Amino acid sequence: MIRDLKKHRKTKIITKPHDDIMQLLTYYRKSLKAFHRDERGVMSIVTLLTVLMLAFMLGMILNVCFQADGKIRMQNSADAATYSSGVVMARGMNSLAFTNHLLCDVFALTAFLREGKNNDAEQLAQEILSTWEKNAPALAGGVDNWDGNYDRIPNVSGGNFKNAGIDAALATKVPQQREMVTAFSNWARSFSAQVLPTLETILDQELIPQFQRALRGNIGQMVQQSAVDISTRHGNRDDGGTDAARGQMGAAIWRTDATQFRSETTDPNSPPVGLPVVDATDNPGGFYHQTALSQRKDLAETYLAQWNNEKLQEFSHVGPLSQFGNLWRGFTRGELRDLLAEHQQTNLLHVIWTPPEVQYSSTSEDLRPTLSFDWQQFTSPDMIPEDRSRNGFLNEQYMFVGTVYWQRLHALLPRLFANPLAGDRVNFSQGMLFLAVPRLARGHSECCETIEPTYRNDKTQYRTNHVPDNSSWGRQNRSVSWNLLNQNWQFKLVPSSVGLVDILAQSPGGWNDGSSGTGDEKKYVPPSLGNLTDHDIHFINMH
């Protein structure tokens, strides 16, 4: 029997599933009894859920803040880059206009000094003075010894002629005026010997047109580099370093036809790809060549007249007897005419680009007033539709779009907050190259108060005082002619009005995002615009 009991103890006891559960409950019974039977501890679970929810909300808020900060920085960058690049364009236009004036002034001064070298006016003036000296004794004898027409002599009649005292006056004035002519001619001869070779070298080597062509050849790079530098500063961290997540910000300047602003020379009859200017040497015998010759002649004659009026004003009041002033003016105009004829194909001005369909107009020989953005023309009820369409066409040609590019921002908790927008981020801004309307100002005009010369102790006193007229309102005396002789070009940001779909889809080219130390250029990934049209973009954009 004892053997049977041992065998029974070694036999495995087979239990049912509910028995295992009861054993488990029995095992953990003491731990379960440790929980309190009221609601203490419920807040621990709620706190855990709240912390998780706040963490999700914090991630969402941070993502929104990062996105908003990036958009604001990109838009500020687009505005600053577009405006800064536009200022470079305006300064380029003003530089070309200034050098056009400088070239015409060189022509005028060269003609002035050529006459100083030749002294043709001096020779004739000396002969005239000698003739006065020769005829002075005959004038002293009265009418009987005068074989000329005395009616032309002012303040002299037949009865008072012998008492006029002309011979005594001539005896005094002729030596004085001869001395004036000699002194002026010596000064002009000395000035010409020092300066004329330099001016002729400038014209012979076309140094001013060379500078203008160099400016046109580099203005595209300067404009684009200005935009890139401004955008890079906006994209860097506060310490100046590159954003590790998004890299450097890139930028580009575009024309309204979605072509990038650059410096390449194109057909003068095609829309420009850079500044709206044309080198007249690229259009021999054509519209631009004739326009450059006409503008150069008019402006050079203006500068020559200013030189003559400034240097010869005393001859108009003190020394008219020799006619030296009129002779000098005539000979210098002849020198200028010959000088311009020598440079029919060289030293031509840069001129403003003009649409082919309005180059040869029957309404005006000079197209610049027709194409001018004149405030009076805009407000005139007599402005014909053709002029308005021309102004609208030029308005489109002088618009530019600046774009900035940045890599997409990677969101926090990307598995929870997915960014559905693919491609790089891009913002834009639009600006216009223009000539400002003259501002209203009080006392805008000036009156000239001239004090006539007086002769006291052989000294001449002659001066002109400019007295501001503060009693009236008017516009400032600034040119609004839309040409390349105007040095008042400016640039401003304007509301977006051009097609943007083609521009936003274009690659800026040469965009180095700074993400690698090798300086490799990053390929632009345009944003997915889907079926958006220009009208849709204008509807949603904030410009």
Intervals of the chain under pLDDT 70: 1-22, 24-25, 27-43, 136-168, 265-266, 319, 357-392, 394-395, 443-471, 509-522, 543
Cα separation, 183 vs 384, in Å, equals 58
Residue type, 21: I
User: Looking at residue 380, what is its pLDDT?
Assistant: 54
DSSP 270: S
DSSP 247: B
User: Looking at residue 461, what is its pLDDT?
Assistant: 44
User: Looking at residue 536, what is its pLDDT?
Assistant: 77
Stated pTM of the model: 0.77
Tokens 């840069």 belong to residue? 350
Tokens 């309204």 belong to residue? 256
Sign (positive/negative) of CA torsion 284, 285, 288, 289? Answer: positive
User: Looking at residue 482, what is its pLDDT?
Assistant: 80
Cα distance between the two ends of the chain: 106
Interval 155-193: pLDDT, tens: 444 444 444 566 667 777 888 888 889 999 999 999 999
Beta strand residue intervals within 274-410, DSSP E:
277-279, 350-352, 399-406
User: Looking at residue 196, what is its pLDDT?
Assistant: 96
Q: Pseudo-torsion of CA 530, 532, 533, 534, nearest 10°? A: -120
